């Protein structure tokens, strides 16, 4: 019998949102059902071969086998800076304003350790990527939800944040293109967010994990395209979705040297950096971010999205139309809760969706489809759901 109790921060975690789904999925599988998972945002397409080749060559070089630099290889950080300049027109000093991350989740999870004292507040989108709230709670911080509602284009209503809470806030998390809703954002909203954070001295943590996953000419923005952002923002980037590299664990943070340095101090004390060979593969990826081989991947997701949206329309399911991400945010078409609907779909059809409430209370009434299977399987999944709903 284990005799040592878990710490409160773990015991007080809310119930794992995917637990009920995992159970239903295991049961459906045991019954021999053909499971089609549209649940997890993990690209099914492979990493482009030129990136894998760069990693292979680098891994054969014994110089990559030693401890990496805490802040990342300078040549990797230079590649990230080149990308930021070319893609967004934002110049960064690679040596002091760019920090390699072991995936952007790592940076997001660690930034509250640098900035949140017990009792400090973080403004967190709801529904949202769950790490923002959990990482804040781990530091004894208080999460103030910013609901994302359809009538507000799935952006927070900044005017609805009570001044008292804004004054106590140290961090605000924002993420566009957005997981889970797929929403994109206007430059005007980003200007308002920057002005808000400047007024209340809040560090804006801009999660740009889906910056490249856009189609039909839509190009997501960086927060650093907004005037005045430098004083109050840090941006998290990821190679995971941009280059089908979720398993490789590589990203970066950029911003003023003080913010990047704050995060760097946490990291120096808890990890020893990303494998050099993976950073070298990252350089290859970033230097060819506009390559047709890479861009062809986004078009595949775009094509799937259009096909999915067309079927949903035929089925009478309301959804958010979007030019970015591989997520489709849909209204639950019955009077069930999100969790009950998703469980019933899984039990009866073998199709896995994610209930909106897995991303926070404000996700009630919605479910998320991840377009991470090929079009034929996706069409088959929606046909099964359509038969269930008739």
Q: Is 37 in the site for ligand PLP (CB under 6 A)?
A: no
Of 171, 209, 312, 320, which lies in the binding site for ligand PLP, with binding defined by CB under 6 A? 209
Closest CB to ligand PLP among residues 73, 105: 105
Distance in Å, CB of 228 to ligand PLP, minimum? 24
Query: Candidates 3-11, 157-165, 224-232, 238-246 — which segment interacts with ligand PLP by CB under 6 A?
Result: 238-246
Of 104, 242, 279, 357, which lies in the binding site for ligand PLP, with binding defined by CB under 6 A? 104
Closest CB to ligand PLP among residues 103, 350: 103
Q: Is 211 in the site for ligand PLP (CB under 6 A)?
A: no
- Which residue has 């993420």 as its token pair? 175
Of 39, 41, 48, 255, which lies in the binding site for ligand PLP, with binding defined by CB under 6 A? 41
Query: Candidates 48-56, 98-106, 220-228, 309-317 — which segment interacts with ligand PLP by CB under 6 A?
Result: 98-106
Of 179, 181, 242, 357, which lies in the binding site for ligand PLP, with binding defined by CB under 6 A? 179
Q: Is 207 in the site for ligand PLP (CB under 6 A)?
A: yes
Distance in Å, CB of 137 to ligand PLP, minimum? 17
Of residues 107-126, those binding ligand PLP (CB under 6 A)? 108
Of residues 270-289, those binding ligand PLP (CB under 6 A)? none
Distance in Å, CB of 105 to ligand PLP, minimum? 3
Of 47, 137, 238, 322, which lies in the binding site for ligand PLP, with binding defined by CB under 6 A? 238
Site string for ligand PLP, 128-167 (x = CB under 6 A): -x--------------------------------------
Residue 255 structure tokens: 């911003």
Closest CB to ligand PLP among residues 28, 146: 146
Query: Candidates 7-15, 100-108, 342-350, 372-380 — which segment interacts with ligand PLP by CB under 6 A?
Result: 100-108
What is the b/e burial string over 70-80, where b = at least 16 CB atoms within 10 angstroms of the residue's CB? ebbbeebbbbb
Q: Is 251 in the site for ligand PLP (CB under 6 A)?
A: yes
Closest CB to ligand PLP among residues 111, 381: 111
Closest CB to ligand PLP among residues 96, 246: 246
Give the list of residues 6+ apart from residue 254 with CB closer than 8 angstroms, or none.
80, 81, 84, 90, 92, 97, 98, 99, 224, 234, 235, 237, 260
Query: Candidates 59-67, 102-110, 152-160, 265-273 — which segment interacts with ligand PLP by CB under 6 A?
Result: 102-110
Q: How many residues at the interface with ligand PLP, by CB under 6 A? A: 14
Closest CB to ligand PLP among residues 200, 248: 248
Closest CB to ligand PLP among residues 105, 305: 105
Q: How far is CA 239 from CA 13, 208, 209, 253, in A?
A: 29, 10, 8, 12
Q: Is 175 in the site for ligand PLP (CB under 6 A)?
A: yes
Q: What are 373-381's contacts with CB under 8 Å, separation 24+?
A: 373/36, 373/37, 373/38, 373/44, 374/44, 374/304, 375/303, 375/304, 375/307, 377/36, 378/36, 378/38, 378/304, 378/307, 378/308, 379/307, 379/311, 380/36, 381/36, 381/38, 381/349, 381/351
Q: Note the residues at the interface with ligand PLP (CB under 6 A).
A: 41, 103-105, 108, 129, 175, 179, 207, 209, 238, 240, 246, 251
């Amino acid at each position: 019998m284990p005799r040592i109790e878990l710490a409160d921060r773990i015991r007080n975690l809310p119930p794992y949102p995917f637990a009920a789904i995992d159970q239903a999925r295991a049961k459906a599988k045991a019954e021999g059902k053909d499971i089609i998972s549209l649940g997890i945002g993990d690209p099914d397409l492979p990493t482009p071969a030129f990136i894998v080749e760069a990693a292979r060559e680098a891994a054969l070089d014994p110089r990559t086998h030693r401890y990496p630099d805490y802040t990342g290889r300078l040549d990797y950080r230079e590649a990230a800076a080149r990308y930021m300049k070319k893609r967004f027109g934002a110049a960064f000093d690679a040596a002091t304003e760019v920090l390699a991350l072991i995936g952007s989740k790592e940076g997001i999870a660690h930034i509250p350790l640098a900035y949140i004292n017990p009792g400090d507040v973080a403004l967190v989108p709801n529904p949202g990527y769950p790490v923002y709230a959990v990482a804040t709670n781990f530091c004894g911080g208080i999460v103030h939800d910013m609901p994302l509602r359809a009538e507000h284009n799935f952006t927070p209503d900044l005017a609805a944040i009570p001044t008292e809470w804004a004054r106590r806030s140290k961090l605000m998390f924002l993420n566009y293109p957005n997981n889970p809703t797929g929403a994109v954002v206007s430059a005007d909203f980003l200007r308002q967010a920057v002005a808000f954070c400047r007024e209340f001295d809040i560090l804006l943590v801009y999660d740009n994990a889906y910056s490249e996953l856009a189609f039909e000419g839509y190009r997501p923005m960086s927060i650093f395209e907004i005037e005045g952002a430098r004083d109050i923002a840090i941006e998290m980037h990821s190679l995971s979705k941009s280059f089908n590299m979720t398993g490789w664990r590589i990203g970066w943070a950029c911003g003023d040297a003080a913010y990047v340095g704050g995060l760097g101090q946490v990291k120096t004390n808890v990890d020893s950096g990303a494998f050099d060979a993976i950073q070298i593969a990252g350089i290859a990826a970033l230097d060819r971010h506009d390559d047709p081989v890479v861009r062809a991947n986004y078009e595949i997701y775009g094509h799937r999205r259009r096909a999915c949206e067309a079927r949903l329309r035929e089925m009478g399911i309301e959804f958010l139309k979007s030019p970015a991400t591989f997520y489709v945010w849909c209204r639950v078409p019955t009077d069930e809760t999100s969790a009950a609907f998703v469980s019933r779909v899984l039990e009866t059809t073998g199709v896995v969706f994610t209930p909106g409430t897995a991303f926070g209370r404000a996700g009630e009434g919605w479910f998320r489809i991840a377009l991470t299977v090929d079009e034929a399987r996706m069409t088959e999944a929606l046909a099964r759901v359509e038969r269930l709903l008739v």
